[in-house]
Structures are given as structure tokens and as C-alpha cells.
Amino acid sequence: MSTLSKRFPTVVIANLKPQVEGGKYPVKRVVGERLEISADVFKDGHDVKTVLLMGKKVGEARWQLRKMSELDNDRWSTSVGLREEGTYLFRVRAFSDPFESWLHDFERRLTGDQEDFSTEIQEGIIILQHAAELAEKRKNNKDAQALQDLAKVLKKSKADKVPAVFEKTAVRNLMSRYPDMSESTDSEEFVEVTVEHEQAQFSAWYEFFPRSAKGSATEHSTLRDCIPRIEDAVKMGFDVVYFPPIHPIGVSHRKGKNNTTTCEPDDVGSPWAIGSEHGGHKAVEPALGTVEDFAWLVKEARERGVEIAMDFAINCSPDHPYVKEHPDWFYQRPDGTIKYAENPPKKYQDIYPLNFHCEDWKNLWEELLSVVQFWVDQGVTIFRVDNPHTKPVAFWQWLIGEIHKNHPRTIFLAEAFTRPKMMQTLGKAGFAQSYTYFTWRETKWELMEYVYELTKGEMRDYYRANFWPNTPDILPHHLQNAKPAAFKMRATLAATLMPSWGMYSGYEFCEGEPLPGREEYLDSEKYQLKERDWDKPGNIKAFISKLNQIRKDHACFKSYTNIEFIPSDNDQLLAYYRWSEDPDSLILCVVNLDPEKTHSSNIHLDLEAMGLEAGKEFEVKDLMYEDSYQWRDSTNFVSLDPTTKPVHLFEVIKSS
Amino acid sequence: MSTLSKRFPTVVIANLKPQVEGGKYPVKRVVGERLEISADVFKDGHDVKTVLLMGKKVGEARWQLRKMSELDNDRWSTSVGLREEGTYLFRVRAFSDPFESWLHDFERRLTGDQEDFSTEIQEGIIILQHAAELAEKRKNNKDAQALQDLAKVLKKSKADKVPAVFEKTAVRNLMSRYPDMSESTDSEEFVEVTVEHEQAQFSAWYEFFPRSAKGSATEHSTLRDCIPRIEDAVKMGFDVVYFPPIHPIGVSHRKGKNNTTTCEPDDVGSPWAIGSEHGGHKAVEPALGTVEDFAWLVKEARERGVEIAMDFAINCSPDHPYVKEHPDWFYQRPDGTIKYAENPPKKYQDIYPLNFHCEDWKNLWEELLSVVQFWVDQGVTIFRVDNPHTKPVAFWQWLIGEIHKNHPRTIFLAEAFTRPKMMQTLGKAGFAQSYTYFTWRETKWELMEYVYELTKGEMRDYYRANFWPNTPDILPHHLQNAKPAAFKMRATLAATLMPSWGMYSGYEFCEGEPLPGREEYLDSEKYQLKERDWDKPGNIKAFISKLNQIRKDHACFKSYTNIEFIPSDNDQLLAYYRWSEDPDSLILCVVNLDPEKTHSSNIHLDLEAMGLEAGKEFEVKDLMYEDSYQWRDSTNFVSLDPTTKPVHLFEVIKSS
């Protein structure tokens, strides 16, 4: 018995890119970007090949076809504009093109000593007639007639006149509309691309605690008190305002100020210890207001140009309704009591972790999905997910997939500060953005290496970094009791090294008092109301505003990958440029990494790569400080005094 | 309706290596090698994981399990010894280990202020009893009793004594025999490995034309005349003797001497124009003898320690029986006549190419398989395949797979001098060995780069290079009218840079007269009988013998990847070392790439990487010239005079 299948691939199509884990996860892009798709395509013999990219939105029936072109060495590619959110599939189709092969051979034959071309002319006629039949089948009588006419022309042609007629673009285009694809090969593999809203890639986040919106240490603020803070965020140029959890806070084992285990009667507790007699994840802490207040605030914020991002923290306090209603969703001791969270010998008695592997896991997972759906229904489009790495990756892949079915615009930010592979895999599983190690990357080499890893390697296709200089959990030592220059410098790095960045409130006031010996804030507002003058003198709000404005005004900040570093002769000066082509923009950033001292250096531009002409003047205009210089060479001198000018944000203006 | 599946993976297992194109093609190894298999394995939470490698030979029912260990950063690995030819499958299984997790947490709890351990002890008892039940189920009553006893011990233990009892290796081993794998995750992906005969990787080939075996330009030699040549090859240390096609040669349009289109009556024709009235691919050219003569010769050769490799060239002369019996297997003109081979404007009228895509392709493919099977039945174990890149890759994958079903030892060498991706893909499709660009790689940097590409990158897993300094088709310009030093130098490179190498006869006599302006031999024996004195004075047979002997005596030449280059301060001196661990061997090669001049230089050894101790003397003993030096530092001086000593092949002997 023959072991031969009915069909075998006539063309080898391999190494289809981009792919994440060989197609197991989709590649990520945002609306407005172009996607470059390439593949190795080759076959035995010398036929001229046609290589097509087939593409469609998932759910559509018909593939759209477009031609790919050969780059080099059997590598074919094309690029596709991405105009609408959704998931798209692409694959490659290749086949021998009898017409082009015939034409190519015909021309080469003419260079030899062949005299009789009747066979070749007859072969050409057959090819033309075959195309005419295809045109007839597709009811395009005009094309069919044109092809039949061409066959007649060929029949009467002298051999040496053939190329002149058939090399014409019009003839080739006509023929290419009726390719014989009966022997074509389609790639086994697909490129799957999730195209997301632009904000999934380009966003500026501002985090504050609604309960401290008014800046009082004694009076609990409400959601309705948040409008001035939101307007401040808008003024500073942010487009996402992120709230820590707003749900009812548990009372059992509630943590006191500075994370102490003893709690005073007036302590407000950690918003991450969710659930009380007032409800769980679908409720709002009564001291903040109601679900309706929140929905109102989301709408008010949106009218002002910002989205409110909600915290999705799958933590239950001992008072969470789930504890009574579904004790089987939690881990239990042999005696039947519920286990609190532990990392021995540390105990977290105010939190009960859920058991994602429990018998009733399906109902648990569905319930958690319904929580997200509940808030989506209140208008939320962005979720910051707390500690996703302590829940199964499969859970996130399922949950995000389910939400995206009806709400493809929903953005999930993964707050996973853990080992690299788990962080990467959460990105693959569907998180649109992820926190990063940026917070602890300080030196020039660390920053360069990390940005290259994120933007130039495989991670670019599935992991979108969101750079935060601080969070309520992390006051890195370089910001502890630091000068404003340090805050300006780190904000500039975050905002210009990545299309997405964020800061936790207090940053604009250069707050930096740590718990001694820790990278945590003293008197952290995670555990208490925070007194704050939101217009405190000496703040850097104007600097932040300008930074975000420059990001908005220049398209180069929207691209994830268009960043290159520039050599400087001083390890404390980090220089890099970003660019975009359509619209054209080119920004050169120079950052003094040392908030204590002035640093100077030559920096060495790659003029050609930057689209500049050696010896021809160009202007570099500092958008932050409104200075301007005329440069003309690749080597240029810069000097940054942290007290007056810790950074340059140069717009590079080519002379016309 | 729930979109949740019945099971979801509890552990992430990804990036399984090695794989070729994500598992589309098998990885290649040979008997005697070890295979390192690794994967990323991680999950949410802090449980201690057990990670197992599951492995079996294809066709076997049961998986063998072995433990993997963590390298670093969630990467787990183990290595497997490969002892028998065949195809093997591996996958990874991972699960939380409740016993080890319990023990780990117990120890950490003891470092805190916990006083009551009754819950933890009760949990431990449950784990032990569960293991005891598993042991009972598997009818191991002794283990079941031991586990029940341990549970009793635990019940009576004081908390601080628990680790001392349960950390014992014997207890852990006992527990690891009864793991709870009910929540385990198996990798979706597999590692597939084809384990081939050692000769698929380590071989020395010698090619000659049987018809010129006696060295006469006028008298056609026969297969029975080949014994002296085979014995010569054995003396020179080769283990494969490769014959160009031995089939009947066509007479229509037979090529004359030096590939002319006019043919004299006594011209013998090209052996690659196969088929005459005497038969086709299953017949032997009458002037050479019979199929029986060939089978006899294969046996005689094997008794002397060499395999005869047959040429599988899918070319048909116009006189091939297929032309009459199956005209539909060929390409036809519109008038029904059969097309000869062309590469316009060049014509090859002595050859009709087969159409692998013809209507009757299944019968054509089956017929070609039957050709290979016919010669396998005559005792052939090695085929050199002519121009495989002009036939569909799918054909080769099918044909080699079919032959390997019953003859896994059969080796196919791909003679594809074409673009890189096609060459690579033929390797993936099943060719055990492949010709390479070595023949044209001359400079130090070209050689280093090419050897690194072949041995250190992905190609290592599917492409086995066979280095040939010459072939009947290629007399590279550096060997044209060159001195013996050039031949010695290129032979040394081929034989020591790769585990497989080969040469075409005449090389040992430093034959180097080209067709003017071409990289072809003048009076090539592809088209005529060749007069040759097989003991011609000035030959380098002794050098070749020694080279092959050194290869055989030192295990380091069998490994494909164990080669590293060594910096030398002279671009004409190429230095490298090969090593093996079991058995231990270390050879340092230094080659003068310039056959015209003496070159000297310091070379800089990486003593640590080579397993040597700085400051401690070691001997380098030239196996080729029987010199010896005592070295002790990383930097050492070498000087090579091409007329007397174009190479060093140093055995490095560590002082004990």
C-alpha cells in the first residue's frame, strides 16, 4: 500500500515571522502600526514563484491576498497596515507562476543560438488561454477577451518581439489576476496578531488613593472628591488614572499604620484586604461611596480625557462574603478551618488566598470573570492586575480571552514583580502591559541593556513594558530623600525610554522618606489616610506636564521599537533618539544620570541612521528648556547641570 | 455555557530544546552521544516542583521517567545517553511535590515564632498516608508499611525533630517513588530525536571511478578490478568508498571528452546520463559488470572495513527504459515530444528530467523508492544523492522515511551545492550528511565563521557537514597547479574541522590541472577513462593515512560540536582544538593556510577551558611529525614551513 498522501507541498514555506512560541500565543500590535510579515519560501527548480500573503480578521470567511516580495536569499516579506482592533490571521501561499517562468525563460533563450521558437510560442498560447478560461469562469469577459487577443498576438509574433509585448506592466498585471493556483502550497503555520487600542501601547499613568483625594489625614475622602485630582492629572498630561482597590476593606486582622499587626480603631486598613460585611469584589467601600458614584466618576474622567484604571486584586479578607458562601474555594487545614496567606515564617492573617485548583474551580473562575465583567459594565476599560503571577497563567489566558470576545479594547496591566519567565509568559497570555525591572535599573549600561532586551528582541512581540519610577510598594533607594533632579531624571527616563510610563502620586512633590532600611515609604498610604498639600511649593508638576506634552506632540514616542542609543564619553550621560516616519519626527534625549553633579561629554550621532547629512547644519531645539543649538557634525558637546537642566529633549530639525 | 475545559495546565512548560522548526523535523544524533534536553518550567506560587523527563523509543508503549534538575532561572534539564539507533520521543512532566513542599515550609516555620505545629504535623501524616495507599495499589507492601510507620513516627514527633527524620535521603527517595501525579502537567511539545549509526557523523570518504580502477586510458576497468583501489583506500584510512553511478550509460547525445557535445565512437560518456538498452537505475553498465559483481564487491569491501556508497542520481538519458515505458513521467512539449534538461540558453540534450508533479506521480515516486530499495537489498548502506535540490523536498522526506522504516542504518549524503535554506532543509528532511561550502572557504575568518555556523548554531541539530576539498565537479582555484603543501593543508582542514570529510581520487597525487578559466578538471574522468599511476612518486598517501589514523585514534574527532578556535597573531595561521571527555582526548591543530611561505606566530590558549593549569607544564606532541614540546603558559610560539611541516596536530598531554 502506498504511503503517499494525495497532495504534497510543492513549495517549502518555513520560518514564518513574527510568531510567539511558534504560534502558540498571538503577536501584539496596536491600531496604526504596520506589521512586517516574512517567511522563507523556496522550491526545487528554477521556476519564477508568486508568493502571496493571505490575511483575514478572525471570524471572516474570505482571505485577502497581497503579493510578497523577495528580500534576499529566499526570504520573502510584506507589511500590512493595521487599522482596526481585533485578532487577525495571516498565512503564506506560494506557487510557480507559469507565465512569468515562461517569459523569463523566453528572454534567456533569445540570448542563445536557438532559431525555432514555435514550441515556446505554443506553450505561451496555452498559458494565455488557460488564464482566459479563468477570467471567463469569473465572468470577467473583458479580461477574457483581452487574454484571447494576447494569445492571437503571440501566435503571429516573431520571437525577438515577444518580450516587448509581454513584459508590459499592463500585461503582467492582467496575467497576475488569473494565476493558476491549482498547485499552490499554503503555509502550515499562521501568524496570529492581536491588534489593540493605541492606549495599550502609548499611555501615561497616574496613581492615587481616592480616600486621600482631599489630602486630609483625618477625613476620609470619597470618589466624588476625586475630580480635582483627576483634573490635576489631566493638567499633568496623564491619560490613565489608576486607583488602588476601592472595595470594602476587611476588619479581621486589619493592618495598622506602617503595616503593623495591631490596628487602632480609626485605622483605615489596606485596600488590598478586600471584603467585609459591605460586600466583596463587586462592591465599593462605603467610606468611598457607591458603585453608582464610581460609574459616575469613570464617565466624568472620560469627559476630561482620562480613563480610570481599576485594580483587580484577587485577595479576600477573612470577612469577604466568599468565605461564608464558598469556604471550599479556599485552602483548608485538616481540621476544616481556612488557611490564611503565608510565606513561612511570615504570616498574612488579614488575607485568605483562593485555591484555583479546588474541586469547584470552574465556578470560582466564572465568578472571578463575572467580577471583571461587572466593572466593564460600569465603564472600566483598563485593569491593573495585582500579583497575577500567584494565580495560574491558564486562568489569565482564559479570563482575558473571554473579556476580549466582547470588549477587545479592554487593557490589562500585569503587576508581576517576579522572575523573568513568569513575567514574559503573562505578557504572552494576554496582558497588554506589564510592570518591569526599570524601577531598579540605574546605570547607563543597565538601562541600555534592558531597553534593548525589551524593544529589540523577541519580547517586543508580546511584552509591552510600562516604566514606573515609583509605586506605593516601591520607593527605590535612588529616590530616598533625593533632590528634585533625581525625580526629574527618573521621570524623563520612564517617559521617553518607553511609550508607556506611570507614577504614583507624591512623586510630583518629590516625596522620598523611606521606612528605615527598606525600599518602602514611611507612613505609607497603603495603611493610612495621607495628608498632602496638592499644590505644595517646590513641586515638579510643570516639568511632568511638559514631559507628557512633548510625548503627545511627537509621534516618535508612540513607537515601541524606534529607539537607538548614542555613544557618549561619560558614563553618567545617557543619550538616545526616537524617531517616526509618518508623521516625521526625531527627538534626541540626553539625560544626566547623576542628580548631584554637572556632567559634560561629547556625544556621537550616527548622522546617516538619523537621516541627517554630514556637514549640513541642523537645529536641535530643547523642547523642555526652549534652548536651541545649530549642529553640523556627528560629534557634539553637551553639558547638563542637574539643578537647572538635568535633561535635554531635543527636537532635531533638518534644514530644508 | 462555561468555556472552561475539564483540565487546565497547572504548570507552564515551554521552550523545550532541542527542537528543529518547533518540532516539525527531528533532531539528529548518533549512537554513543548524550542528548541534553531542557525546558522552562514554572508555576504560580512557591510549591516545590518535581520535573521529570519522559522518554521512549517510537513504537514502545511505556514512557521511562527520569528526574530533571533546575539549572537557573526556571530552566530545567537532564541528559540522556543514546545507545541504539531509532527515533525517540521525549516530553516533560511537572507537578507540585506535596511532601517536599511540606518539608520545605516546615523548616522555614521553625525559624519563626510558631509554637503549635499540630496542623502541620497532621498535614504531613495525610501526605505520608496517601503515598502509602499508592504503594499498596502497586502491591509494594514493604514500602506501604514503611510509609505507614513514618506516619506514626511523625505523629509522635516534636516539631523541631521533624526535619532530621524527614530530610534523610532514604525517606525522600521512598517518597519520590510514590509521587501524586494527579495534578501533573505534560508538555504539549515533544523532542523527537533520530539516533543514527556513528558513521552518519564520523566518516572518511574516498571517491573513485570504477571504470578507471586500473588506471588505463584505453581499457575500461570492471567492478572486479576495484579491489586494489579499495585496499588502497583502506590503507589511507578511509571507511567509505563512493562510486559515481555504475548504471548503463546512454548513447543518444552522449557527451564527449571535456563535456563536448560531439562524441567519438570510443567515448565512454558521463555516468550521470543513466539508462540504455541495457537497463536503467536497477542495472549495471555492462562494461563494469553485473549486479552480482557489485553485490560481491560490496561484501568484499565490507570485509576490508569499508562501505561502498552508491550514487543515486535521478537523471535519465533519452535511452532510459522509463522513456518508452512511462513517457508521461517526463515533461512534454505541446507536440507530445519529451523535453530535455535546460537552463536557458544552455541545453542538456543527453538528459531528460523527470516530472515529480506529473499525473502519475505516485507510481513515479514508488518506482524511485524501489530503486533505492533494490540497492539496499544488494547490501548498500550509504547513498550519495546527486542534486537533491532539484527534486521536491517532500519527496526526499518520504523516501528516506520509507527506507529508514526497515533500514534505520542507511545513510544519505546530500550533494546540494545551492542556496543555504534549501541545503538546510534537505538536512532537516532526513539527509544524514551534506556537502558544504567548505570547498570555497579559504581565509581564516571564513573558515572560523563557517565552522561556528555549522557546529554552534541551530544547524548542529539537523545538518551534518561533510567537508570535501575537491570533487569530480570542483577543482577550486587554490588547488589548481598547486604545491603538495596546499593539498596537505586543505586535507588537514577537512579532516580535523569536521568529523566527516571526503576526497576525490587524484587528490593524493596532487592532481590540479584545470580547464582554463574554470574550477573544473581538464580531461575530467567524468567524460573519459583516466590514465593514472596509482603509486605515482610524490604522492601524499602517507600523509593522508596518518591523518585518518590520528582521527581514528582520538575520540575528540567523533564529536560534532567539541571544537574551539584559538587566537593566533597571524592571519595565515589557523589554530583550534578538539576535545572529548569520555574517553579523554585533547588535540590542538595549527594549520598554515599559505602553501607558499613559512608563517610564525604566538597562539593564545584558553588554559582553563582546555582543562590545563596555568604555570604547570604540559606536553604537546605532534602526532603528524612526531615532534614534542613542553609548554606551560597560555601564549606559545609556533612556526610552520609548508614545504616540511604545513600543520601541527598536537596531542596535548596533561602532566599528572
pLDDT tens per residue, range A400-410: 999 999 999 99
φ, ψ at B96 (rounded to 5°): -70, 140
Q: What DSSP letter does each residue of B41-60 carry, written as one string?
A: EE-SSSPPEEEEEEEEETT-
| Cα(A257)–Cα(A243) distance, integer angstroms | 20
- d(CA A457, CA A611) in angstroms, rounded, equals 24
Burial of B626 from C-beta contacts in 10 A (0-12 / 13-18 / 19+): exposed
Min Cα–Cα distance to chain B from A618, Å? 41
A139 phi, psi to nearest 5 deg:
65, 25
314-333 in A: which are within 8 Å (CB) of B? 333
* Low pLDDT (below 70) residues in chain B: 1-2
Instruction: List the 416-445 stretch of A: residues with Cβ below 8 A of B.
Output: 419-422, 425
pLDDT at A247: 98
From B524's Cα to the closest Cα of chain A, the distance in A is 26
A45 CB near a chain B CB, below 8 Å?
yes
Indicate the fold that domain B1-94+186-196 takes in CATH: Immunoglobulin-like (2.60.40)
What is the structure's pLDDT at B171? 94
| Cα A153 from Cα A149, distance rounded (Å) | 6
pLDDT value of residue A233: 98
- Please report the pLDDT score of residue A8 as a whole number: 85
CB contacts of A425 in chain B (<8 Å) are: 12, 14, 42
Backbone Cα Rg of chain B: 31
Mean pLDDT (whole number) for A510-531: 96
Q: Quick one: average pLDDT of A180-197?
A: 94
Instruction: Measure the CA angle with vertex A586, ends A580 and A592; round to 5°.
Output: 125
Taking one residue from A and the other from B, the number of pairs with CB-CB distance under 8 angstroms is 145
Kindly report the backbone phi and psi dihedral angles of residue B205, in degrees, each rounded to the nearest multiple of 5, phi listed first. Answer: -105, 145
Taking a contact as any Cβ pair under 8 Å apart, which residues of chain A between 184 and 243 contact chain B?
Answer: 188
pLDDT in tens, B36-55: 999 999 999 888 999 999 99
CATH class label, B563-653 = mainly beta
Answer yes or no: same fold for A1-94+186-196 and A202-243+360-558. no
**3-class DSSP assignment, residue B18:** coil
* Residue B536 vs residues A488, B506, B540: alpha-carbon distances, Å: 83, 10, 10
Neighbouring-strand partners of residue B619: B630, B653
pLDDT at position B1 is 54
Q: Which residue of B has its CA nearest to A402?
A: B3
Going by their DSSP bridges, the two strands B49-57 and B64-67 should be labelled as antiparallel
Instruction: Supply the angle between the helices B98-110 and B169-176 in degrees, to the nearest 10.
Output: 140
Q: Which of A8, A103, A364 to mutate to test the interface with B (most CBs of B within 10 A)?
A: A8
Instruction: Report in angstroms the alpha-carbon separations of A160 from A109, A151, A166, B326.
Output: 10, 16, 11, 35
Neighbouring C-beta atoms of residue B546, cutoff 10 Å = 18
CB atoms within 10 A of CB A313: 22
Residue A414, pLDDT > 80, answer: yes
Is the CB of residue A644 less than 8 Å away from at least one CB of chain B? no
Rg (CA), chain A: 31
pLDDT at position B544? 98
Secondary structure class of B551 (helix, strand, coil): helix
Average pLDDT over chain A, rounded to an integer: 96
DSSP string covering B188-245: S--EEEEEE-GGGTSEEEEE--GGGTT--SSS---GGGGHHHHHHHHHTT-SEEEPPP
- Give the contacts of B129 (CB within 8 A, at least 6 positions apart): B147, B148, B151
Crossing angle for the helix pair B169-176 and B118-137, nearest 10 degrees?
A: 60
CA torsion A54-A59-A62-A63 (nearest 10°) is 0
Check A344 against B126: CB less than 8 A apart: no
Instruction: Tell me the percentage of chain A whose pLDDT exceeds 90.
Output: 94
The arithmetic mean of pLDDT across residues A460-472, rounded, is: 98
> Mind listing the pLDDT tens digit for each residue in B528-556?
999 999 999 999 999 999 999 999 999 99
**Residue A51 pLDDT greater than 70, yes or no:** yes
pLDDT digits (tens, 9 = 90+) for A125-184: 999 999 999 999 999 999 999 999 999 999 999 999 999 999 999 999 999 999 988 889
**pLDDT digits over A344-362, tens only?**
888 899 999 999 999 999 9
Task: Residue window 125-184, chain B: list those with CB within 8 Å of chain A.
Answer: 126, 183
Residues A333, B123: C-beta atoms closer than 8 Å: yes
Q: Where are the domains of chain B?
A: 1-94+186-196, 98-178, 202-243+360-558, 563-653
Assess B519–A contact: CB distance below 8 Å, yes or no: no
The CATH number of B202-243+360-558 is 3.20.20.80
pLDDT for B343 equals: 87
pLDDT at B515: 96
Establish whether this prediction's ipTM goes over 0.95.
Answer: no
**What is the reported pLDDT for A2?**
67
What is the percentage of chain A residues whose pLDDT exceeds 70? Answer: 100
